[in-house]
Amino acid sequence: MINRYPIVGVMGSHEKEWKEYSVPLGTLLAQRGFNLLTGAGDGVMSAVARSFTEVEDRKGVTIGILPAVDYIGQKLNEEDYPNSYIEIPMITPLSIKAESDIMPFSRNLVNVMTANALVILPGSHGTKNEVSLGLYYKKPMLLFGPDSAFGKFPEEPLRAEEIHHVEQFFNDVFGEKK
């Protein structure tokens, strides 16, 4: 029998790791027995996957959704993608970024639609796009980080600055940890 652990998508900056948020989040995800889905790049994606994979005896795996080409249409640098903490890389023939918030063929859409719930850390346009898609498709979603980092993001999603609020979000979405 296959165990189907919930998939939690974590989206955020590809430049900044936001370790004060990504490290405890990765640990919590692994301890709760979830699978982690990211865009497989640097920044938040690497930091959360690193802390996730450092948890011993975890049940879930790291899944990375990779674009086939970079921003200028060149084949991805295999040293950068996927980051070294991705255990299941999924290479898509889709754009590395969406051109509009509800573009039907984007890696962001795959990230959002594959996840059972989303935790969004600070990021830029691509992250905001994933929030818009999450709202459009009514995905359970939490913005995790300093409120000031989400100033230009939609107001609708729940927001949290403390890891225990993230755990409560998981309890509300998936039930109490057993």
Three-state secondary structure readout of 68-118: CECCCCCECCCCCCCCCCCCEEEECCCECCCCCCCCCCEHHHHHHHHCCEE
- Give a yes or no: residue 175 inside a domain: no
User: How far apart, in whole angstroms, are the C-alpha atoms of residue 106 and residue 121?
Assistant: 20
Structure tokens given for 120: 């969004």
The CATH number of the domain where 111 resides is what? 3.40.50.450
Q: Is the pLDDT of residue 121 over 80?
A: yes
Averaged confidence pLDDT in the chain: 88
Q: Give which of 157, 77, 169, 76 is closest to 122, Cα–Cα.
A: 157
- Give a yes or no: residue 68 inside a domain: yes
- Give a yes or no: residue 152 inside a domain: no
Tens digits of residue pLDDT in 32-47? 999 999 998 899 999 9
| pLDDT band per the 50, 70, 90 thresholds, residue 154 | confident
- Give a yes or no: residue 9 inside a domain: yes
- Give a yes or no: residue 22 inside a domain: yes
Q: Is the pLDDT of residue 103 over 60?
A: no
How many separate domains does the chain show? 1
- β-strand 117-120 against 35-38: which pairing, if any? unpaired
- Give a yes or no: residue 156 inside a domain: no
pTM recorded for the entire structure: 0.90
The residue segments making up the domain with residue 51 are 1-123
- Give a yes or no: residue 154 inside a domain: no
- Give a yes or no: residue 142 inside a domain: no
Q: What's the confidence (pLDDT) of residue 91?
A: 82
| pLDDT band per the 50, 70, 90 thresholds, residue 70 | low
| pLDDT band per the 50, 70, 90 thresholds, residue 177 | confident
Residue 22 or residue 129, greater confidence: 22
Position 174: which residue type? Answer: F
Query: 3-state DSSP helix/strand/coil percent for the chain, to nearest 5?
Result: 35, 20, 50
User: How far apart, in whole angstroms, are the C-alpha atoms of residue 30 and residue 36?
Assistant: 8
CA distances from 90 to 1, 11, 40, 155, 172 (A): 23, 16, 9, 31, 29
User: How far apart, in whole angstroms, are the C-alpha atoms of residue 63 and residue 40?
Assistant: 8
